[in-house]
Amino acid sequence: MAVGYSLVFSVLNFSNFAHGAVITLGAYVAWAVMVNIFQLPFLPALLISMLGAGIIAFLVERIAYSSLRHRRAPSLYFMISAMGMAIALQNVLYATIGANLYALPPVFAQDSIQLGTAVISKMDLFAFGFSILAIALLTFILNFTRVGTAIRAASHDAEMVSVLGVNLDMLVAVLFLLAGALGGMAGVFMGVKYMVYPSMGWITNKAYIGAVIGGLGSLPGAIVGGILLGLVEALISVSTIGGVPLSTYRDVFSFGLLALLLIVRPTGLFGRHVEEKL
């Protein structure tokens, strides 16, 4: 989720708050092809959901952001449009499918394995491994393909890339397809681990915190920030003070960590400060 946020921010310089709705719709695509319509196995359903979420993200960009880009609108307008799209898509789900909770079939017959005193979910291990593969593939695309080179160049100066002959509309389309596919993957893993429901995209608030901690626009930062946030929340969830569990204060610690980091290092751990040159 955090990588999807940072990928869009790196080029368009705004926070795509509709990312949560794309993740939710990716989970619903998985529910449709695994449970409601086709009863497909997990891996084909995962790939279809990633493709579906990528197409949805592309359509969101064309509907909500494309005209703003062409008019060179301020970043604030993009963020307002993103929030509007997120609310609209969520309400479309409520109006068409309803507020029911749907379960995706378990991937493993035995849900967890025990390593000493630690109990680790097989699904978490699988999600972690598959995420590493997906991010490795994204890294290859960004570093060893022409479109990846164009995306990296546009993250520094999108206008200059356009002047040099790159079709910026096509580049942004690829950008949203990649971010949407990563979001769809996250939505499927969330749906298997928890449930599928219209407001499940709220969890992207945590992904956004992870992206900000790592530094918005930095893909390695998004990965490190997400892992750090997950470790902090896990440790808080199992900690107590004076016999009082701290699990109910997990969100307080997460947002407190974000506030503290923004005070100490506003650009995040891996973000870069670039002065505008006239």
| Coil vs helix vs strand at 68 | helix
Per the model's pLDDT, the better-predicted residue between 83 and 269 turns out to be 83
Give per-residue pLDDT as tens, 107-155: 876 677 887 777 788 888 888 899 999 999 999 999 999 999 999 999 8
* pLDDT confidence band for 3 (50 / 70 / 90): confident
CA angle (52 as vertex; 133, 94 as ends), nearest 5: 120
Of 52, 64, 70, which is closest to residue 88 (Cα–Cα)? 64
pLDDT at residue 109, as a whole number: 62
The single-letter DSSP state of residue 112 is E
Backbone angles phi, psi at 13, to 5 degrees: 60, 40
The model's pLDDT over 175-203, given as tens digits with 9 standing for 90+, comes to 999 999 999 999 999 998 888 999 888 87
Question: What is the three-class DSSP state of 26?
Answer: helix
Residue 144: what pLDDT? 93
Q: pTM of the full predicted structure?
A: 0.87
Q: What is the 3-state secondary structure (H, E, C) of 147-190?
A: HHHHHHHHHHHHHHHHHCCCCHHHHHHHHHHHHHHHHHHHHHHH
Find the mean pLDDT for residues 229-243. 80
Q: How far is CA 274 from CA 9, 115, 160, in A?
A: 14, 46, 16
Higher pLDDT, 56 or 222: 56
Residue 276: is its pLDDT beyond 50? no
277 has pLDDT over 70: no
- Whole-number Å distance between alpha carbons of 57 and 26: 10
Report the C-alpha gap between 147 and 167 in whole angstroms. Answer: 10
Give per-residue pLDDT as tens, 11-62. Answer: 888 889 899 999 999 999 999 999 988 889 999 999 999 999 999 999 999 9
Would you say residue 220 has pLDDT above 90? Answer: no
| Residue type at position 23 | I
Q: What's the mean pLDDT in 210-215?
A: 84
| pLDDT at residue 48 in the model | 95
